[in-house]
Amino acid sequence: MDHRGPVDLPRATTRARVFTLMAVLIPPAGMLAGIVMLWGVAFDWIHLGIMVGMYVATGLGVTVGYHRLFTHKSFETSAPVKFILGVLGSMALEGSVIKWSATHRKHHRHSDRDEDPHSPHGDHRTILGVARGFWHAHVGWIFDEDDPDLHAYVPDHLKDKVVTTVSSLFPVWVVLGLAIPTVLAGLLTWSIYGALLGLLWGGLARIFLVHHATWSVNSVCHLWGTRPFRSHDESRNNPIVGVLAMGEGWHNNHHAFPASARHGLAWWQIDISYAVIRLMQAIGLAWKVRVPSPERIAAARR
């Protein structure tokens, strides 16, 4: 199927967009309420710092590492930095580098078409249809059977020793991502209870938050937001996801310029991941950073 043609799936209705907005806001709001209620009992500044620190580190492992470096090759870096970014991304528990990159490249090739692994588009005539579409795009697609030809999307990774090594040790990095906050909290509180809370907040709760932010790019950002650029799909810029997912929510920008290291193309579009890449570039850890020219940006606008 030619992925360059117009979108042939029905567009989301206002009802669908309201549903997805509620779905992305309610779970974090519930967690925030739980944190407030547990403050001083099972949550404190130490565990907050560990949770936020692990969220940022593993989230950047996904956004800067898995997405912009490994999948789209939007910049280049050294083998040690590739290794570290791959490990941090693996700690987010979203699959190995190879599988994540292959799935995302397939998404771009077939975005919002039948072969897209996680398009939310389909039947929006009923609330149930909206719910099914959102569920599939947000998390349901993970339970689908793997494409036997998925590795065909990543021939470069299969030849890269760093990538294959990090991918083969994926279970090790997952355990490490749970062990780090547990041990750190235990040392800072000098108690078993504090260590267990470190596992809860810096491990399990942090994974939930990173998953929810990342998956919202697949679901929310194909249903709710603006489309300033021409693209062959329903990708959209969503400011809420843009902040929570450290720049990934400027999704229409990304689909218009997939190889760009910068997703927040306007000055006001917060893109923490690109800021990290720029910092890496400034200190010599990143080079050949790819960003579209102002002429290309202007030409792609609707």
The pLDDT tens digits for 37-49 are 878 778 899 999 9
pLDDT at 10: 47
Tokens found for residue 6:
């117009």
**Whether pLDDT at 11 is above 60:** no
The pTM assigned to this predicted structure is: 0.88
Burial of residue 125, with CB atoms counted within 10 A of its CB: 0-12 exposed, 13-18 middle, 19 or more buried:
exposed
What one-letter code names the amino acid at 286? A
- pLDDT tier at 27, thresholds 50, 70, 90: low
Cα 74 from Cα 193, distance rounded (Å) = 43
What tens digit of pLDDT does each residue of 221-232 get? 988 899 999 988
pLDDT at residue 224, as a whole number? 85
Percent of the chain having pLDDT more than 70? 88
Q: Is the pLDDT confidence value at 65 over 80?
A: yes
Task: Using the structure block, give the residue that is written with the tokens 């290309």.
Answer: 296
Strand-strand pairing, 286-287 and 76-77: antiparallel
pLDDT of 21 over the 80 cut: no
CA nearest to 245, candidates 105, 55, 99? 55
d(CA 225, CA 227) in angstroms, rounded, equals 7
Nearest-angstrom CA–CA distance, 106 and 1: 13
* Percent residues over pLDDT 90 in the chain: 66
In this prediction, residues 215-223 reach a mean pLDDT of 89
Long-range Cβ contact pairs of 33-39 (< 8 A, separation 24 or more): none
Amino acid, res. 56: V
The distance of Cα 80 from the centroid of its chain, to the nearest Å, equals 22
Q: How far apart are CA 92 and CA 62, in angstroms?
A: 7
- The predicted pLDDT at position 85 comes to 98
Q: Is the pLDDT of residue 3 over 60?
A: no
pLDDT digit string, tens, across residues 222-273: 888 999 999 888 899 999 999 999 999 999 999 999 999 999 999 999 999 9
Average pLDDT, the chain: 88
Alpha-carbon Rg for the chain, nearest whole angstrom, is: 19
- Report the alpha-carbon distance of residue 301 to residue 228 in Å, rounded: 6
User: For the purposes of burial, counting CB atoms within 10 Å of the CB of 1, is it exposed (0-12), middle (13-18) or buried (19 or more)?
Assistant: exposed
